[in-house]
Amino acid sequence: MALLPILTAPDPRLKKKSLPVETVDAGVRQLMDDMLETMYDAPGIGLAAPQVGVLKRVIVLDIDREDTKTGPLFMANPEIVEASDEDLSYEEGCLSVPDHYSDVVRPAAVKVRYLDRDGKTQELACEGLLATCVQHEIDHLDGILFIDHISALKRNMILRKLLKARKEQERDAAERGPVKTKVKDPEHAI
């Protein structure tokens, strides 16, 4: 298991369309496990592979942390096969859009078809937060962020703030200077 770095907007990789997985092999299962660990560490309730720089159609979700009712969900090639006419507005956040939240309107209930961690085709009826989350994650696989569902004015304001925060972070890191690593065995150091 490993923690993977999470990309933040604006990053060109978050705008790309991810490719379907051909088979859920050991490599895909490793990616799923690393993504789940990264998601729990963040913490978040969902994560899509492009958020960790892997342009594959893989998502993980766990909407109930304490009373693990659904438990973690691993999905390869998820597709919405049915969506309700009824909508739901939910205040969304995203690990790739840190510290910003906006109401997003999406179908209130969806049926999702996907390959599970064992490569078996599954269908799951989702409603409420799970429906919102699964649609948010599938959007990532198509290069869409929740801020693409809000007004251009709000979106550009958020993107400007993210860019500013990143520049400040880079400036602070440069001021601290390069990280000095201690030589473990000075006697045998070159």
Catalytically active residues are 137
Choose between 100 and 136: whose C-beta lies nearer to ligand GNR. Answer: 136
Q: Which is nearer to Ni ion, 22 or 148 (CB)?
A: 148
| Residue 145 CB coordination number (10 Å) | 22
Smallest distance from Ni ion to CB 187, Å: 49
Task: Please tell me the count of residues contacting Ni ion according to CB under 5 A.
Answer: 1
**Which of Ni ion, ligand GNR, none is residue 44 near (CB under 5 to 8 Å by kind)?**
ligand GNR
Question: Shortest Cβ distance from residue 51 to Ni ion (Å)?
Answer: 6
Residues in the chain: 190
Give the three-state DSSP class for 134.
helix
Which residue number places its CB atom closest to ligand GNR? 44
H or E segment and range at residue 158? helix 152-176
For the record, the structure tokens of 92 come out as 């969304």
Residue 131 near residue 92, CB atoms below 8 Å: no
SS (H, E, C) 7-59: CCCCCHHHHCCCECCCCCCHHHHHHHHHHHHHHHHCCCCEEEHHHHCCCECEE
Q: Which of 99, 142, 115 is nearest to 28 (CA)?
A: 115
Q: How far is the CB of 10 from Ni ion (least distance, A)?
A: 14
What, of Ni ion, ligand GNR, none, does residue 133 touch, CB below 5 to 8 Å by kind?
A: ligand GNR
Site string for ligand GNR, 94-113 (x = CB under 6 A): xxx-----------------
- Binding partner selected for residue 34 from ligand GNR, Ni ion, none, CB under the kind-specific 5 to 8 Å limit: none
List of residues contacting ligand GNR (CB under 6 A)? 44-48, 51, 90, 92-96, 132-133, 136-137, 140
